[in-house]
Amino acid sequence: MQAYADLRRDFQSINCPCALIYGAKSESFSSRSATYMKELLPHLEITALEGAGHHLFLDQPLGFMEALSRQLASWQ
């Protein structure tokens, strides 16, 4: 489990703006996972893309681009 602890510590040491955009209907990544990541990295900004599974840009290409554009604009 040392590798897992190292990964968690590495993730927590990120100090630049970070965002997570995930598919709300993903079978590979859940809101529970997003919540856990937020606990580890409080400044993480999270967006669940409605109507998308794991492959956001295939399931909701326009929605993904809109979410990404909004996120990037918020960092300017």
pLDDT tens series, the chain, 76 aa = 676 678 888 989 999 999 999 999 999 999 999 999 999 999 999 999 999 999 999 999 999 999 999 999 999 8
Inter-residue contact 67 to 49 (CB < 8 Å)? yes
Query: What is the three-class DSSP state of 3?
Result: helix
User: What's the pLDDT at 53?
Assistant: 95
Q: Which tokens is 12 given? A: 């927590």
User: What's the pLDDT at 72?
Assistant: 96
The packing angle between helices 31-40 and 2-12, to 10°, is 70
User: What's the pLDDT at 55?
Assistant: 94
Domains recognised in the chain with CATH numbers: 2-74 (3.40.50.1820)
